[in-house]
C-alpha cells in the first residue's frame, strides 16, 4: 500500500503505547536508515559463524578421537563410530528445531539467539574434554538440541534489514555458514593433538596433552562466548503489541503495521504444510543438506585414511590446510562471483548449474587419490574449493526461496520446520556416510565400483535426485504480489 512506511513511522512517533513494541522500534530505525547496514550485517555474520564452527570442526580429528577411545574393534569400523558422533548433533537439532522456531515467534528472536550461543560455550567445551565415546555422543546431542538459533536467525535477518538489503542479509547467512563449515575443520586440523604437533609449546603432561582434542573446541567456545555476551545488545525484531491499547487504537496500529508486512493477527495463519512453495523448497534443502553433510564426513575420513584403503594418508594439519584454502576460495566466490551469477541466471538456474557441475567433480575423487606430491596437493585443493563453492550456490538459492514462500509472522515457524527436516537428513549424513565409507573399505577388490568409487557414486546419486527435483512440477516458486 502506497505510503505504508510513512504511516507506520507517523504512528510510532505519535502513539506512546507503541514505543513498548521492540519490532516497531526496529521498523522506525529502518525507515530512517540510509546506506549499507554494516553493523547489522556483521552481527548476523558473527552469530551464524559462532554456531557453524562447532558443527564440522571435529571432522579432521574425529577419526583419531574414535581410535583413541578404543571402541572400534577393527580399523575399518572407525568410520561407523565416527558417523554416530557426527550424527548426534543433527539428531538433537532435528528434535527441537520446530520448538525453537515457535519460541522465537512467541517470545522473540533474541532469547533464542542468546540461549543458542551460550549452549555452544558449554557443550562444545565439554565435547573437547570427552573421555569416552558415549560422553562425546551425549555432549554433541545436547549441543544440537539446545542450540536452535539457525532458523530464527534467518527470520531475524529478513526483519532487521530494509527490503533492498534482505537478499544481502540472506547471502551473509549462507556465507557465514559456509565459511564456518570450512574454518571449523581448519581449526580442528591445525589445533588438534597440539602436544604432538607443537611440543615446544604444549607438553604431554599439560591439559592439552591429556585432552588432545580440547584446544580447537576451547578456541571456538571462547569466540562463541564473545558473541553470546554481545547478543544481549541485539535489537529484538518481533512485534509484541501491548494489551493496554484501546480497541480502536489497536486496530489502527495493526492496520498501519500490516502495510510494512508486520502481520495482522486477525488474519488466520496459513497451514505451512499446505504451502507447497515452502514445502518443495524444504524437501530440496533436505536432500542437498544430506549430500553436503555426508560429503563433509566422507571427505575428512577419506583424506586421513591410509593409502591401502584408497585414502590420501593425510594428517589433521594436511586436512586443515586443504579446508583453509577452500574457505578462502569460498569467501572470494561468495562476495564477488556468486552475486553476478545469481543476478544473471537467478537462484534456481544457478543451483541447477552447480548441481550439474558437482557430479563429474565428485566422480573424479577416487582417481585424485592415485596422485601424489605437489600434483595431489594442487588438484585436491582446487577440487575442494570448487565443491564447496558449488554447494553454497545451491544452499543460498534455497534460503531465498524458503523465506519468500511465507509471510513475516510465520518465518520463525517456517525456518524451524526447515531446520527440523534439514537436521534430520543431516543426522543421516554422517551416520550413513561413515557406514558407507567403512563398507567401501571392506570391498576393495569388488568387480563393480570397488572401494571408494562406490562412496562417491552414492553421493552423486543423491546430488542427481536433488537436481531433478529443481524442475517443475515438483518445485513451486511463490510469486510475490
Report the pLDDT value the prediction gives residue 115, as an integer from 0 to 100. 93
Quickly list DSSP for 396-456.
Answer: HHHHHHHHHTS-GGGHHHHHHHHHHHHHHHHHHHHHHHHHHHHHHHT-TT-SSS-THHHHH
Say whether pLDDT at 420 is over 70.
yes
Report the pLDDT value the prediction gives residue 228, as an integer from 0 to 100. 92
Task: Over range 145-174, report the average pLDDT.
Answer: 77
Report the pLDDT value the prediction gives residue 2, as an integer from 0 to 100. 47
Say whether pLDDT at 10 is over 60.
no
Say whether pLDDT at 179 is over 80.
no
Report the pLDDT value the prediction gives residue 346, as an integer from 0 to 100. 83
Contact 186, 178 (CB under 8 A): no
Helices (H), 19-77: 22-32, 38-56, 59-69
Q: Which of 214, 213, 193 is nearest to 204 (CA)?
A: 193
For the chain, list the domains and their CATH numbers. Answer: 35-239 (1.20.1250.20), 273-480 (1.20.1250.20)
Say whether pLDDT at 245 is over 50.
no
More confident residue, 122 or 250: 122
Report the pLDDT value the prediction gives residue 223, as an integer from 0 to 100. 94
Compute the C-alpha angle 36/39/43, nearest 5°.
125
Q: Which of 80-89, 258-267, 367-376 has the lowest mean pLDDT?
A: 258-267
How many whole angstroms separate alpha carbon 150 and alpha carbon 426? Answer: 14
Contact 41, 172 (CB under 8 A): yes
Say whether pLDDT at 144 is over 50.
yes
How many whole angstroms separate alpha carbon 225 and alpha carbon 418? Answer: 27
C-alpha cell at 365: 575423487
What confidence tens digit (pLDDT) does each residue in 303-326 have? Answer: 888 888 888 888 877 887 887 788
Report the pLDDT value the prediction gives residue 183, as an integer from 0 to 100. 80
Contact 94, 423 (CB under 8 A): yes
Please provide the average confidence, as pLDDT, over all residues in the chain. Answer: 81
Confidence of residue 388 (pLDDT cuts 50, 70, 90): confident
Report the pLDDT value the prediction gives residue 139, as an integer from 0 to 100. 95
Residue located via cell numbers 552414492? 458
Task: Over range 440-465, report the average pLDDT.
Answer: 89
More confident residue, 286 or 34: 286
Task: Over range 41-57, report the average pLDDT.
Answer: 87
Q: What percent of the chain has pLDDT over 70?
A: 84
Report the pLDDT value the prediction gives residue 273, as an integer from 0 to 100. 84
Report the pLDDT value the prediction gives residue 72, as an integer from 0 to 100. 80
Q: What percent of the chain has pLDDT over 90?
A: 22
Confidence of residue 472 (pLDDT cuts 50, 70, 90): confident
Task: Over range 341-362, report the average pLDDT.
Answer: 89
How many whole angstroms separate alpha carbon 317 and alpha carbon 10? Answer: 58
Report the pLDDT value the prediction gives residue 114, as an integer from 0 to 100. 92
More confident residue, 264 or 132: 132
How many whole angstroms separate alpha carbon 61 and alpha carbon 301? Answer: 9
Say whether pLDDT at 113 is over 70.
yes
How many whole angstroms separate alpha carbon 369 and alpha carbon 450? Answer: 14
**Sequence-separated (6 or more) residues with CB below 8 Å from residue 218:** 125, 128
Confidence of residue 19 (pLDDT cuts 50, 70, 90): low
Half-sphere exposure of 276 (CA within 13 A, CB side): 6
Amino acid at each position: 500500500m502506497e505510503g505504508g512506511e510513512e504511516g507506520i513511522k507517523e504512528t510510532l512517533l505519535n502513539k506512546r503505547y507503541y514505543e513498548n513494541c521492540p519490532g516497531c522500534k526496529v521498523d522506525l530505525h529502518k525507515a530512517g536508515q540510509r546506506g549499507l547496514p554494516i553493523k547489522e550485517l556483521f552481527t548476523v555474520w558473527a552469530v551464524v559463524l559462532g554456531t557453524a564452527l562447532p558443527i564440522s570442526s571435529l571432522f579432521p580429528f574425529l577419526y583419531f578421537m574414535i581410535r583413541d577411545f578404543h571402541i572400534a574393534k577393527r580399523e575399518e569400523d572407525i568410520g561407523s563410530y565416527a558417523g554416530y558422533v557426527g550424527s548426534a548433533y543433527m539428531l538433537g537439532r532435528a528434535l527441537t528445531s520446530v520448538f525453537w522456531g515457535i519460541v522465537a515467534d512467541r517470545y522473540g528472536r533474541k532469547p533464542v539467539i542468546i540461549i543458542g550461543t551460550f549452549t555452544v560455550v558449554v557443550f562444545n567445551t565439554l565435547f573437547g574434554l570427552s573421555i569416552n565415546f558415549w560422553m562425546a555422543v551425549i555432549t554433541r546431542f545436547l549441543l544440537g538440541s539446545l542450540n536452535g538459533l539457525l532458523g530464527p536467525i534467518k527470520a531475524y535477518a529478513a526483519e532487521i534489514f530494509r527490503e533492498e538489503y534482505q537478499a544481502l542479509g540472506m547471502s551473509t547467512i549462507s556465507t557465514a555458514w559456509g565459511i564456518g563449515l570450512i574454518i571449523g575443520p581448519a581449526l580442528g586440523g591445525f589445533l588438534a593433538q597440539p602436544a604432538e604437533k607443537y611440543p615446544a609449546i604444549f607438553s604431554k603432561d599439560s591439559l592439552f596433552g591429556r585432552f588432545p582434542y580440547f584446544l580447537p573446541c576451547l578456541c571456538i567456545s571462547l569466540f562463541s562466548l564473545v558473541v553470546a555476551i554481545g547478543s544481549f545488545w541485539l535489537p529484538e525484531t518481533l512485534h509484541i503489541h501491548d494489551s493496554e491499547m484501546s480497541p480502536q487504537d489497536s486496530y489502527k496500529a495493526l492496520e498501519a503495521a500490516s502495510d510494512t508486512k508486520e502481520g495482522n493477527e486477525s488474519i488466520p495463519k496459513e497451514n505451512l504444510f499446505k504451502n507447497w512453495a515452502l514445502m518443495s523448497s524444504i524437501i530440496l534443502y533436505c536432500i542437498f543438506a544430506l549430500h553436503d553433510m555426508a560429503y563433509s564426513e566422507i571427505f575428512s575420513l577419506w583424506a586421513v585414511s591410509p593409502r591401502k584403503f584408497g585414502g590420501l594418508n593425510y594428517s589433521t594439519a594436511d586436512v586443515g590446510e586443504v579446508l583453509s584454502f577452500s574457505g578462502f576460495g569460498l569467501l572470494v566466490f561468495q562476495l564477488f562471483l556468486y552475486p553476478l551469477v545469481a543476478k544473471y541466471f537467478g537462484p534456481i538456474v544457478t543451483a541447477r548449474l552447480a548441481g550439474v557441475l558437482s557430479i563429474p567433480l565428485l566422480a573424479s575423487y577416487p582417481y585424485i587419490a592415485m596422485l601424489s606430491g605437489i600434483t595431489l596437493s594442487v588438484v585436491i585443493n582446487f577440487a575442494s574449493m570448487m565443491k564447496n563453492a558449488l554447494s553454497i550456490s545451491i544452499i543460498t538459492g534455497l534460503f531465498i526461496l524458503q523465506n519468500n514462500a511465507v509471510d513475516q509472522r510465520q518465518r520463525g515457524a517456517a525456518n524451524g520446520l526447515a531446520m527440523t527436516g534439514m537436521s534430520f537428513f543431516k543426522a543421516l549424513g554422517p551416520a550413513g556416510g561413515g557406514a558407507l565409507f567403512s563398507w567401501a573399505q571392506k570391498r576393495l577388490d569388488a568387480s563393480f565400483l570397488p572401494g571408494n568409487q562406490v562412496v562417491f557414486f552414492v553421493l552423486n546419486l543423491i546430488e542427481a535426485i536433488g537436481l531433478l527435483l529443481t524442475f517443475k512440477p515438483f518445485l513451486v516458486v511463490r510469486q510475490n504480489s
